[in-house]
Amino acid sequence: MDRILIIEDDPFVADMLTKNLAGDGYQIWSARDGEEGLTLFAAHQPQVVITDLSMPKMDGFAVLEQLRPQVISPYAIIVITGFPTDENIKRCYDLGIQTFLRKPVKIYELKGVVKRSFDTLRFSSQLQQEISLRQ
């Protein structure tokens, strides 16, 4: 089953994201801050992480520094925030995120980005397996 971790301190936004994505059959965990998010990430190894930038205890940038996906990574990170600046967007992409979305998030856009992230991860995994078999 496809696994998603949502790291969002606003309970309304977290619940909205969870309810809308759970209906598509994903297994979802939710954290209220970056520290809890990293703990849940280590425990459940989700393939997609959706994180806010502005949070208590540990902000989204600190989470991205900890997770920092590599070129071929078994997970994708989607950032959502209500305070987008060109500097923040650039910094997020420099830290390896898949996509940056602005709040309020359009559900159809989020669902499309999540689906595309899982499709890309599956394709990458298949490609790695084929390369391994040929070596």
pTM for this predicted structure: 0.91
DSSP code of residue 104: S
Number of helices (H), then strands (E), belonging to the chain: the values are: 5, 5
Give the position of tokens 């499309």. Answer: 112
Distance separating alpha carbons of residues 88 and 125, to the nearest angstrom: 30
Give kind and range of the element (H or E) at residue 80. strand 76-81
Q: What is the pLDDT of residues 88-125, one digit of tens each?
A: 999 999 999 999 999 999 999 999 999 999 999 888 88
Give the position of tokens 């520094």. Answer: 65
Q: What is the pLDDT of residues 40-76, one digit of tens each?
A: 999 999 999 999 999 988 999 999 999 986 555 689 9
